[in-house]
Amino acid sequence: MKPKIILIGGGGHCKSSIDVIEQVDEFTIAGIVDINSSLENLFGYPLLGNDGDLSKLKEKYEYALITIGQIKTPSIRIKLFDHIKSIGFKLPIIISNKAYVSKHAQIGEGAIVMHGALINAGAIVGKNCIINTKALIEHDVIIGDHCHISTSAIVNGGANIGRGTFVGSNAVIKEYVTSREFDFIKSGSLFKGHTND
């Protein structure tokens, strides 16, 4: 029998995450946790409560995944990650069967790798990251914890993406550059690293 998992956040990223989790077929989705009480269900999965109910839900469920998206700031995802870890939830690594992750890459707990993403040899992806649809993480890249690498973004070999960074859709990160923590790299941009301020 597959273990049950609860999903925290019921917006657009949750919908995409449900699709990946259903396709991977390692967990049964028990339901959604969301602050929006008008969200009765999502694709047939019930609303189990809000963030204040997580301690109670831990008595029934062992696994959780944060399915709130990240654009302007990672602060909500970081706060939730720290909270659900502190009350004892396990955060699995979810990798779409339609993604490619090298056996020589490392993925941190609570991360999700969406359809069509590619993570090459020697890459390290931190905890609680979103590697979104068709993103490319090249060899020896380091992605810090709590990052969102958006759809079709390219992170070239040896780049180091700082903790909490957002990399927009179709952005290209030059090889061997380093971003700061909590950087915001715009969609469609070419990131060549920071010049000395």
Q: Are residues 124 and 64 in the same domain?
A: no
Q: Are residues 75 and 155 in the same domain?
A: no
Per DSSP, helices labelled H in the chain are 12-24, 54-58, 75-86
Considering the candidates 13, 104, 139, 194, report the single residue annotated as catalytic: 139
With contact defined as beta carbons under 8 Å apart, do 121 and 102 qualify?
yes
pLDDT of 38: 78
pLDDT of 195: 72
pLDDT tens, residue order, the chain (197 aa): 899 999 999 999 999 999 999 999 999 999 999 988 778 789 999 999 999 999 999 999 999 999 999 888 999 999 999 999 999 999 999 999 999 999 999 999 999 999 999 999 999 999 999 999 999 999 999 999 999 999 999 999 999 999 999 999 999 999 999 999 999 999 999 999 987 64
Q: What are phi and psi of 13, to 5 degrees?
A: -65, -35
pLDDT of 135: 98
**Helix, strand, coil percentages in the chain from 3-state DSSP, rounded to 5:** 15, 30, 55
pLDDT of 196: 60
Q: Are residues 49 and 119 in the same domain?
A: no
Query: Minimal CA–CA distance to 44: which of 63, 30, 26, 65?
Result: 30
CATH for 48 = 3.40.50.20
Q: In the annotation, is 115 catalytic?
A: no
Q: Are residues 82 and 99 in the same domain?
A: no
Domain limits for position 28: 4-86
Name the domain count of the chain.
2
The residue among 34, 68, 86 that closes a domain is 86
